[in-house]
Amino acid sequence: MVPQEKVDLILESIRLSASSAGFQPYQVLVIQNKELLEKIKPIAFNQPQITDASHLLVFAAWERVTPERVDAMIKNIARVRNVPEESLAGIRGYGDQFMAQTAEQNFQWAARQAYIALGTALIAAASLEVDSTPMEGFDSASLDQLLGLQERGLKSVLILPLGYRDSQKDWLLPQAKVRMPKEDLFIEDEVLLN
């Protein structure tokens, strides 16, 4: 069981995560209920992390940018910075630009922002010595239905179980981490300029 203080710090890292124009166009569901986790497991192709985890975070992106969402964001900035809402016309302009796009464009953009929050959460979890697995391996439509996400204007894009590794049973643990060699990953400008 991951202690609540650590879960709270991971959630805070998500809350503080960077996002395009500061919109944070997603919500994150925090699931601990064992029965609910049992129902999610088959939706995630029976991957064991779902029910082994102590908490499951579901990153759900906005289906689309709406006037209500833009208004809520502007009100929040005005409150936190103690400035009049009228002074935030630039941000409202961003909102208008997003609302002129298709729902699919909005969703794809929102999902990318959710991935940034996921990356932030991964690092926060690792720094707190909490184990986690970022997961795309689930049926998003079924999860949305189970959790009533459509009613909230959301679509699930990622799930992140949090827990502690089983050192005895984890077959990956003794294996070396495999990553691309840096020569293959990075392209220095001297190569481009030659």
Residues that bind ligand FMN (CB under 6 A): 47, 133-137, 172, 177
Nearer to ligand FMN, 47 or 156 (CB): 47
Nearer to ligand FMN, 134 or 153 (CB): 134
Nearer to ligand FMN, 4 or 127 (CB): 127
Tell me which residue of 40, 29, 120, 13 sits closest to 49, measured CA to CA: 40
Q: Where are the alpha helices (DSSP H) in 28-102?
A: 34-43, 49-52, 67-81, 89-99
Residue 27 CB, shortest distance to ligand FMN, in Å, is 18
Q: Where are the alpha helices (DSSP H) in 65-154?
A: 67-81, 89-99, 103-127, 140-147
Residue 68 CB, shortest distance to ligand FMN, in Å, is 29
What are the phi and psi torsion angles at 55 (to 5°)?
A: -140, 145
Residue 179 CB, shortest distance to ligand FMN, in Å, is 7
